[in-house]
Structure 1
Amino acid sequence: MLAQRVGLGPFRAVSSSKMLSPTQFNVRFKMPLQHRTLASIAAAAGSTGERDSAVLHRSLKTPPMLVVSARERYLTFSDGHEILDSTCGAAVACIGSHNERVKKAMIEQIDKFSYCNSMFFGHPIGEELCAELIRGTDGAMAKAYIMCSGSEAMDSAMKMARQYFTEISPKENKRVNFIAREGSYHGTTIGGLSMSGHVARRSLFLDMLLPNIHRVSACNPYRGMTKGQTTEKYVAQLADELDRKFQEVGPDTVCAFVAEPVVGATLGCVPSVKGYFKAMKAVCDKYGALLILDEVMSGMGRTGTLHAWQQEGVVPDIQTLAKGLGGGYAPIAGMLINHRVADALKSGTGANISASAFSHGHTYQGHPVSCAAALEVQRIIKEDNLLTNVKERGELLTSLLHKHLDDHPYVGNIRGRGLFWGTKHPFPPSFGVANLVHTIGLKDQGISLYPGTGTQDGINGDHVLLAPAYTSTVEEIEKIALKTKLTIDQAFEKLQETHGRVD
């Protein structure tokens, strides 16, 4: 299944179903002395396996390819193989690699100081970054809180929502529940994973996860709308479902409804339909609950506006962001709170008065070097007018993907806002379609296609994502679109050789 996102700085997906081991590139070749140590490690890993690596890799059976350099939108591996990174890693490297301005900003901050204890001190670069983030919301949000990862941001958002209610009134102390959606992904910590609806990532830890997370259907018209149903009726159906869930859980026990404006990792770039978030917010307002929007993947320009909610006609009470914030130059994530939440924190009157403080903290909270990197990335996005580039390149990629894949027998439902994709119907998991597409793209076509599975029911259904850099050229977008088609063609030719007909 291929899913697409229009208007973003390239964000895309394609789907299939079985997982294949990544192809290893381990050709040995001579290189300058300064690179030989890394090359020998890579060769050893490729030829003798995991036992030679001290790293606990994602797989203990198949060591990964080693990246030895990156420049702009291209990655080079230890064997000299090069790819166009058409997914920005995991939708992270939004302005490409090796940007001199960002490097300079980080070095200048290191020359001043590289660490600051946030329990006692603040610093100018953090103030500048947070002010820039609030300006980017046109003042709709009030405060920013800086951490290191999207998972941390979701945990912080959950705690902030809970504390908000303890601050406004002792009567609200029983609000401990959250309502999230099926087919969602909100992080890998216990809190974030509890909030997530990602079946595979949750499965091993179900007995450890929080019991106070409840679920409603995703806004996924491809899977959820019935034949002949209008968008308005579909939105009303989902709003009614959320309302009934509030009633079932206890409307005065719910802290917040949590959702991704565009679902990324789990469903493969699924945006909401028109009017959906306005309807969901109305239900939250009816019961006094908060709206938390997770923009870790879809935010900071990826959809063509700095924040995806700026296209939805709503303002969240709490927002998480991460990937496009620092562009991969340093670990960084953030949580934004609106004025309603900030005011409650400042003048708490509840049973757990916090002395105007958020009862939370991290050692590396607001790390100065990460803040310097993120601030410069955001300045580049603004000064180089990259949001316009995102929209234009997103429209181009959308049109080219339609041109190349609309008539493809194994590609249906081209959907999204900027660049995200998924397939016509789920293939048997044994076929390993998504990972096969990823492997062929990497090895034979020199592009990155981010694989995922479980888009139909958590187990069946596959997709691959495209999330090109905001700085992508017209030529690169044309190359990505064509190579995506060639990769899919090649993958299904291989599947037919192995399995016969696959439809």
Structure 2
Amino acid sequence: MCADHVFPRHSRVDPPVVVSGDGPWLFDANGKKYLDGCGGAAVSCLGHSAKPVLDAVKLQLDKIAYAHTSFFTSEPAERLADKLVEYAPDNMERVYFVSGGSEATESAIKLARQYFLEIGQPQRRHIIARKQSYHGNTLGALSAGGNMWRKAQFEPLMVPSMVHIDACHYWRFAEPGESEFDYGQRVANQLEEMILKLGEDSVAAFIAEPIVGATMGAVLPAEGYYDRIQEICHKYGVLLIMDEVMVGCGRTGTFFASDHYNIKPDMICIAKGIAAGIQPLAAMICSGEIYAAIKEGSGFFQHGHTYLAHPAACAAGLAVIEEIESKQLLVRVNELGAKLEAGLHKAFGQHPHVGDIRGKGLFWGLELVKDRQTKVPFEPSLNIARRAKKIAFTEGLMIYPMGGTIDGKSGDHILLAPPFIYEDEHVHLLIERLTTTLERVFEEQAAA
């Protein structure tokens, strides 16, 4: 339909042209329809025809589309910040609006460093994160991430002051006979061990996803894990950053996924669902204490992006929250999530190649294995996750699969993050098409 000058994600993949959307459906130029089972990348929480949000953006465009934040603030930004602070833990007071998840986590990392400079602790330079985490693709965020496959070719550019402890994944990594609580404490205690190794006054922050998203597939923390993490952070004066880029904004049934575990972080990063994909928007929310250190110190956060607090994007974010509230979508997420959970367990609970089913709300992962009993993964060369995505797409279903679930190389999972506006029929159809997809994947594998 046009000259081929777009730089695609993958040069050997020729995707169809999308032309329209309606609720949980997307339509390509050939008229084929696809059920969105993953929100793209857990983004399109309101589906693809959220008229109130679209109207709010159009109305804002008629007023003012863009004004640089070195000159102006805007009504949508101020109102959205107020609304996010209402939902955030009590200590959260300020919101820094950016355009995507990588920018949000980059902002948090840099603010952590500047905070300690402002309060006279310049020796605090280390950021601790976890293996198999993902925090974004800018160099600082990528350095914080713990997925080695994503980082390997950029290793010479990685920030050396960022280090990693083990991920928390009880089903996959617990020792034989180890209780979930004991496992969680053992893994959490690695944070204290790393702090002492680096120097107890040299660590600025610990960053983690409350529920691990893309790189492990909706992995929940072990019982008591975050209670211990918070104890350690408080003991050593380490800031706690929660990366809720994928799981925030209602995805797991509470506005912030941290709420499930009584986490009181110093900073929270959100993106994806905050503007439902209708505008690029993300945010870093910080405590009043952190903001006061900047305000009463230099007065200037030495960081910034051109599209900070973009008025049209903030108008979209405000309208998304209004939709969530007016339509009681958090309640709906929990109701649909329970039905999706039951359906997944009924369809795949005894499947020989589905080792684990985990998640919350409308955020679910299925870990695919060669042997269910031993948890042995498929060989990475088989590209099970990639094949599942391709076959599902031919079946008219969008899913979010990933390889390297275990260590960046081995392991496969499928991530499901459907729009909040699903009806029961869509849940049933998702499971039906996913069942057909996995049947085809494993039939092809057996025949190979």
| TM-score normalised by L of structure 1 | 0.86
Alignment partners' CA distance in 1, 2:87 and 2:263: 15
Residue 204 in 1 paired to residue 160 in 2? Answer: no
In the other structure, the counterpart of 1:93 is: 44
Label 1:254 to 1:138 Cα distance change in 2 as closer, same or farther (>3 A).
Answer: closer
Hey, what does 2:429 align to over in structure 1? 479
2:20 alignment counterpart: 69
Name the SS for the 1:480 alignment partner.
helix
Q: How does 1:384-423 map to 2 (within 5 A)?
A: 384-418=327-361, 419-423=364-368
The equivalent of 1:26 in structure 2 is none
Q: Which amino acid letter does the alignment assign opposite residue 262 of structure 1? A: I
Task: Report the equivalent of 1:243.
Answer: 192
Q: Check the 8 A contact 2:132/2:147 in 1, yes or no.
A: yes
- 2:223 is paired with a residue whose SS is coil
Let me know the Cα RMSD of the aligned residues. 1.2
Q: Contact 2:111/2:301 (CA < 8 Å) preserved in 1?
A: yes
Q: What per-residue deviation string (whole Å, max 9, x for no partner) do you get for residues 296-354 of structure 1? A: 00100011000001111121101100011000000000000022212322323xxxxx1
Give the letter for the 1:174 counterpart.
Answer: Q
CA distance in 1, matches of 2:409, 2:245: 23
**Secondary structure in structure 1 of the residue aligned to 2:164:** strand
Q: TM-score if structure 2 supplies the norm length?
A: 0.96
Q: Of residues 396, 409, 414 in structure 2, which corresponds to 1:446? A: 396
Q: Which string of whole-angstrom CA distances, capped at 9 and with x for unpartnered residues, describes residues 168-199 of structure 1?
A: 2x2x1111101000000000000111011111
- Equivalent residue of 1:481, what SS? helix
CA 1:389–1:140: 2 relative to 1, 3 Å? farther
Amino acid paired to 1:483: R
**Where does 1:338-487 land on structure 2 (aligned, <5 Å)?**
338-348=287-297, 354-355=298-299, 357-418=300-361, 419-424=364-369, 425-443=376-394, 445-487=395-437
Indicate if the aligned counterparts of 1:134 and 1:140 stay in contact, CA closer than 8 A: no
Count of aligned pairs between the two proteins: 440
Q: Which residue of 1 aligns with 2:373?
A: none
Identity of aligned residues (%): 38
Equivalences for 1:228-377 in 2 at 5 Å?
A: 228-348=177-297, 354-355=298-299, 357-377=300-320
- Give the partner amino acid of 1:489: E
Moved more, 94-103 or 131-140: 131-140
Partner of 2:111: 160
Stretch deviating more after TM superposition (156-165 or 223-232): 223-232
Per-residue deviation, 1:138: 5.5
Q: For residue 345 of structure 1, what is the amino acid of its counterpart?
A: I
Asked which structure has the greater CA Rg, the reply is: 1
Residue-by-residue CA offset, 1:70-118 (whole Å, 9 max, x unaligned) = 1111011111111101111010000111211111111111111111110
Letter in 2 for 1:360: H
Post-superposition CA distance 1:355-405 (Å, at most 9, x none): 2x3221111100000001111011101111000010011110001100000
| 1:102 is aligned to 2:53 | yes
Q: Which residue of 1 aligns with 2:137?
A: 188
2:97–2:281 CA contact under 8 A, matched in 1: yes
CA distance in 1, matches of 2:366, 2:244: 18
Give yes or no for contact 1:146–1:333 (8 Å, CA) kept in 2: yes
Counterpart of 1:493?
443
Matched residue SS, 2:93: strand
Amino acid at match of 1:141: M
Partner of 1:10: none
Can you give the 5+ residue segments of structure 2 that lack an aligned partner in the other structure? 370-375
Q: Is the 8 A contact 2:354 2:366 kept in 1?
A: no
Deviation at 1:240, TM superposition (A): 2.0
Amino acid at match of 2:307: Y
Deviation at 1:68, TM superposition (A): 1.0
1:126 aligns with 2:91: no
Post-superposition offset of 1:485 = 1.6
Structure 2 CA distance for aligned equivalents of residues 223 and 420 of structure 1: 13
Q: For residues 357 and 129 of structure 2, what CA distance do their matches in structure 1 show?
A: 25
Mapped partners of 2:399, 2:87: distance in 1: 30
How many angstroms apart in 1 are the aligned matches of 2:403 and 2:91? 36
Q: CA deviation at 1:230?
A: 1.1
Question: CA offset at residue 239 of structure 1?
Answer: 2.5
- Give the letter for the 2:226 counterpart: F
* Deviates most, 258-267 or 233-242: 233-242
* Larger relative contact order, structure 1 or 2 (CA cutoff 8 Å, min sep 6): 1
C-alpha separation between the residues in 1 aligned to 2:365 and 2:353?
16
Q: Could you tell me which residue of structure 2 aligns to residue 214 of structure 1?
A: 163
